[in-house]
Structure 1
Amino acid sequence: MALWHCDLRVSWRSQLFSLAVHAALILLILLTPWPPGYWMVWLILMVLMVFLAIRSQRRISARHGEISLLAQDKLLWRGQEWIIRQPAWMIDSGILLSLRREKPREGWRRAFRSRKQKLWLASDSMSQEEWRHLRQVLLTGKHDASSKTHHHPL
């Protein structure tokens, strides 16, 4: 049985924040006076920043779907069990979890992917009730028996 269960949505706040940061950096590169011989450096920086902005948006968009907190230090996400390696870092707008995959994935392509992952759970990617319940479970380490809506058997 899960301590907490949720169907994550894409966080619009995270997407807007990422877009604003990358746009500011691109604007800084555009407005910086470059010596005439440095056009190649300018071009490489611009391409790199656009690539990083697109990558960031894709990573944020990929953070959706079913997620369950199985125990205080175990999470079920993307069909894999993950161990929470460190105490969760919490602020009002989100929770950062440092995860490590319990078992390595099978297949040669998946073997090269990292077993470690940082997962940002934004408060706007779930309902307020689910957000409060997750924070309560992570802060106290106890399950609130009165909250039956998030107590799902797997």
Structure 2
Amino acid sequence: MAQWRCDIRVSWRTQLFSLLVHGALILLILLSPWPDVYAPIWLVLMILVVFECIRSQKNISSRQGLLKLLGERRVEWRGREWLMLKNPWMPRFGVLLSLQQVNGKKRCRLWLASDALGNEDWRHLRQRLLYPQSADDGDG
């Protein structure tokens, strides 16, 4: 039985941050003085940054769906059960979960930005991760 569950949405702040970082890199490449002999390198760098920006936006968009905390450092995400390998890193604007699939070798790092959840869900998630022993007290 899940101790906590929430439907995770796309994080607009994370998408904006990614766009700003990639945009700054593109501007840096465009505004840097490049000798003519480095034109192929300039073009390859531009293509790489643009494709990395697209890949980053797709990754951010794919991090949505139902997340359940099951207890004993277990999480259900995308219909699979995962173990938390490390204690979650929790700055005030997000949570980073290092996960490994139960009965498998697949690992992933799941970044949950604070704007991807409602305020109440965000507070409950942080409480459950900070104080896992109080999760058995039955409020939620």
Fold in common (TM above 0.5): yes
Report the number of matched residues.
139
Structure 2 residue 109 is matched with structure 1 residue 118: yes
**Whole-angstrom distance in 2 between the partners of 1:127 and 1:144:** 23
**Whole-angstrom distance in 2 between the partners of 1:130 and 1:78:** 18
Q: Deviations over 1:2-43 (max 9, x none)?
A: 121000010000000001000001110101111110001000
**Whole-angstrom distance in 1 between the partners of 2:72 and 2:50:** 38
Q: Alignment RMSD, CA only?
A: 1.3
- Alignment correspondent of 1:3: 3
AA matched with 1:98? S
- Alignment correspondent of 2:128: 137
Q: How does 1:60-99 map to 2 (within 5 A)?
A: 60-99=60-99
- Alignment correspondent of 1:25: 25
Q: Structure 2: which 5+ residue stretches go unaligned?
A: none
Q: Structure 1: which 5+ residue stretches go unaligned?
A: 105-113, 149-154
**Whole-angstrom distance in 2 between the partners of 1:26 and 1:144:** 50
- Alignment correspondent of 2:16: 16
Displacement after TM superposition at 1:71 (Å): 1.0
Displacement after TM superposition at 1:146 (Å): 6.0
Equivalent position SS for 2:135:
coil
TM-score (norm 2): 0.94
Q: Which 10-residue stretch deviates more, 138-147 or 39-48? A: 138-147
Go from structure 1 to structure 2 and tell me whether the alpha carbon gap of 1:12 and 1:63 turns closer, same or farther (over 3 Å shift).
Answer: same
Q: Which has the higher contact order (CA 8 A, sep 6+)?
A: 1
Q: Deviations over 1:42-79 (max 9, x none)?
A: 00000000000000000000011111010141100001
**Whole-angstrom distance in 2 between the partners of 1:50 and 1:67:** 31
Q: Does structure 2 conserve the Cα–Cα contact (< 8 Å) formed by 1:69 and 1:75?
A: yes
TM-score (norm 1): 0.86
AA matched with 1:143? A
